[in-house]
Structure 1
């Protein structure tokens, strides 16, 4: 179930679009890590002497290293970040689940030989931990936190993701994102952005620039390859009430 739907509903008619490639965020887009991440920052906040609620308000969609720079710059090192993130699946992985529709969509991407990648704000250590825990389809390419100099909303991660699936900056690429910072990053990279209302309300995703908004990935289907790219259908999009 999506969060705040704003002045509208998920009743839009199905649309078909073609793209040269696809880039997926991870937390909140293909897996639900909200409970695990909340517990993680509660523990780290206690260690740092910082109110965890304050950290959580500013951490969604951001790299841990960028969050730590706000509260304790001495901890903002890749060694420390990799260590604390390596513990998350071990300590809190039992509550992590797939976003509805994620597995069949990723599997269908592979079956269609569509170029796709995961682009995440977590470290490669944590990304591997989540993929192993849930046995999700391995991505043909990926971009993790330590691969770029600046995190979302900077577009560097999506620019690199597009490059790693072999596409140029003029290619028509779809980004799937749940966080406003990620939506802004995708748009700044020149991509179309599909927003998922799994962790943020519709109005936040709209304000960030999402081109379409859906409840989860059951609303996306791969329809095969055409002359203009890989075709997908997007169902039950958010539409504003008249």
Structure 2
């Protein structure tokens, strides 16, 4: 991503960092590949990577994004049943808002219930982003909270916060999520059916 020819195998080399913020990704790879030290410190590589990544991302998403299947229905069903809904993401605040607008989902969750890893001390897999979301929801019992995640680090963060973690194989295959999640479903429609069956 920095324009350097660093040997890698995709997607295998990507699996360990899915769900991490960019700083954590760079630190992970730099620690495992001594040759990366030649490109500078984590902060130096991060600054270069952010600029390149942002340019590429804006280009790739200029025609809009497609939301994960069933997400709108899930959020609307949860809210109709009086449940609180928040977003807790490793992404920067600007990226989160861009994604929500580009996918037509920016009306689902208010800004004050949208938590970025930029707002907390540590990103996923640390539980901080979910703990902040719980605080904003005024939720004192994390065991009553269901988190929907598509990354192993996100699942670990959710469980670290005491929540019930549901994996959806959007980014990773089911077999990568199953050892970590409390439940894995194929899509959000399945979670809607679970909610509708609750008394």
TM-score bracket for the superposition, by shorter chain length: 0.7 to 0.9
| Partner in structure 1 of residue 146 of structure 2 | 174
> C-alpha displacement at 1:110, in angstroms?
3.7
| Partner in structure 2 of residue 33 of structure 1 | none
> C-alpha displacement at 1:183, in angstroms?
1.1
> C-alpha displacement at 1:169, in angstroms?
4.2
Q: 1:115 to 1:87 in 2, by over 3 A?
A: farther
The alignment's TM-score, normalised by the length of structure 2, stands at: 0.76
Aligned Cα RMSD in Å? Answer: 2.8
| Partner in structure 2 of residue 115 of structure 1 | 84
SS at match of 2:178: helix
Tell whether the 8 Å contact from 1:85 to 1:126 is kept in structure 2 after alignment: no
How many residues align? The count is 181
Mind listing any 5+ residue stretches in structure 2 that lack a counterpart?
31-40
> C-alpha displacement at 1:148, in angstroms?
1.8
- The CA distance in 2 between the partners of 1:107 and 1:80, in whole Å, is 39
Judging by fraction of residues, say which structure has more helix.
Answer: 2
- The CA distance in 1 between the partners of 2:138 and 2:191, in whole Å, is 23
- The CA distance in 1 between the partners of 2:139 and 2:52, in whole Å, is 34
Asked if 1:193 is matched to 2:165, the reply is yes
- The CA distance in 1 between the partners of 2:153 and 2:73, in whole Å, is 26
Tell whether the 8 Å contact from 1:86 to 1:129 is kept in structure 2 after alignment: no
| Partner in structure 2 of residue 50 of structure 1 | 6
Mind listing any 5+ residue stretches in structure 1 that lack a counterpart?
1-43, 224-230, 235-242
Q: 1:88 to 1:115 in 2, by over 3 A?
A: farther
Higher relative contact order (CA 8 A, sep 6+): 1
Which of the numbers 64, 78, 102 marks the counterpart of 2:22? 64
The alignment's TM-score, normalised by the length of structure 1, stands at: 0.64
SS at match of 1:109: helix
